[in-house]
Structure 1
Amino acid sequence: MGANTSSPKERLSLSDLRSRKSRTASKVSPFIVEMKNENQWKSQFNALKDTNKLLVIEFTAKWCGPCQFLEPKLEDLAAEYTNVEFVKIDVDVIMSVWKEYNLYTFPAVVFTKRGQEVDRVVGLKLDEIEGKLHKYAYSF
């Protein structure tokens, strides 16, 4: 009754879980560019603002559970929409950009074209993100 029947080999220690989490968190997506500092962000943004290419900005934080849930979904979308530029901004690393967009909650995804925000989705709303991505990837 309620006995733990798993073998010692099947059990993971807390240090094993932490190790797995840190390896997963440091994984870099080939389709989403993680902004490391404000200069990198400005350079990326300025390079795209004179083009018609859609820029999708994912605002996230390592400690945000919904953000971590959204991450693989955005990676799948970025792999599918190769004509769109995806960037990820950890607000604990580059808080100024998050403030610039007047965001107050996570996760947040902002869509820009030609340097102007065209739309945003705040919260874990994958269907809405997909719909807006499809709409703006092929418009203007």
Structure 2
Amino acid sequence: MGANFSTSYYYDYADTFSSQQSSSRVLTFHSTAKWKAHFDASKQTDKLMVIDFTATWCGPCKYMDPIIKDFAAKYTEVEFIKIDVDELMEVTQQFQVQAMPTFILVKKGKAVDKVAGARKDELQKLIEKHRK
């Protein structure tokens, strides 16, 4: 169960999208080592990263899923990452995630903001604030 995912770098969710497919991506990590390599590389850029800490059993996370896909289509200069808290517990603990969903906004390897809960408008406001 899940063995196919451990070596996967990411999933490209854009193909499940109906509009603006080519420009939107939500990356999903299934390996702590792959996540760490990606995160370390991101420190060299000014690109905003929005990390969505989620769980398959979480109702509010499921509610936010299409919203995150929409944001990924709208804010193509922002990187959207999805991390399953049950799968990558070490990463979840590093970011001190206590509730789901939690969205951590990161720039140059540093958390610049955080939204806990399915708060679409607040998350959008923070993306707007930090994306430049």
TM-score higher than 0.5 here? yes
Q: What band does the TM-score fall into relative to the shorter chain?
A: 0.7 to 0.9
Q: How many residues align?
A: 112
TM-score by length of 2: 0.82
The percent identity for this pair of structures is 39
Deviations 1:26-84 (A, max 9, x none): x9512100011101111110111111010110000000000011010000001111111
Verify: 1:88 aligned to 2:82, yes or no.
Answer: yes
Partner Cα separation in structure 2 for residue 40 and residue 116 of structure 1 = 18
Partner of 2:5: none
Question: Does residue 96 of structure 2 align to residue 102 of structure 1?
Answer: yes
**Secondary structure in 2 aligned to 1:42?**
helix
Match of 1:4 in 2: none
Runs (5+) with no aligned partner, structure 2: 1-10, 15-24
The answer on 1:29 being equivalent to 2:23 is no
Distance in 1 (alpha carbons) for counterparts of 2:64 and 2:123? 10
Q: Which protein shows a greater Rg?
A: 1
Q: Which runs of 5+ in 1 are unaligned?
A: 1-26
- Cα 1:69–1:28 change in 2 (3 A) is farther
Query: Given the two structures, how large is their TM-score scaled by the length of structure 1?
Result: 0.77
2:124 is aligned with 1:130: yes
State the 4+ residue runs in structure 1 displaced beyond 2 angstroms.
none
